[in-house]
Amino acid sequence: MLPRTALAEAANVAERIRADVAALVVDAAGTKLSTHASIGVAAFPESGVTSPDELVARADEALYQAKRAGKNRVVIAQSAGAGGRVAAAEA
């Protein structure tokens, strides 16, 4: 949660987090492991929600869209379209 943060700035923060995580290399008993992050971003009122639960649900849907699209990316939830589905845009 990023209170009083515009959608574009929240997407920038999410992208910085994703890039920082992707740059990490973990040494696990001599084995180098790479890391990645998938992040969903939603904002009020831009995502067209009316409750905190709905906002979290939009961010969650954007997260799963990021994972389905190949992981290691940020997806921004847009307003729900027809049928209540969330359109998404990559950051």
Return the pLDDT at 80: 65
Domains delineated in the chain: 7-90 (3.30.70.270)
Q: Does the pTM of the predicted model rise above 0.75?
A: yes
Residue pair 41/59 in contact (Cβ under 8 Å)? The answer is yes
Return the pLDDT at 88: 53
Return the pLDDT at 83: 43
User: What sign does the CA torsion over 5, 8, 12, 15 have?
Assistant: positive
Q: Report the SS3 class of residue 60.
A: helix
Burial state string for 3-27 with b = 16 or more CB within 10 A and e = fewer than 16: eeeebeebbebbbeebeeeeeeeee
Mean pLDDT by 10 residues, the chain (91 residues): 91 97 94 95 89 94 94 88 50 58
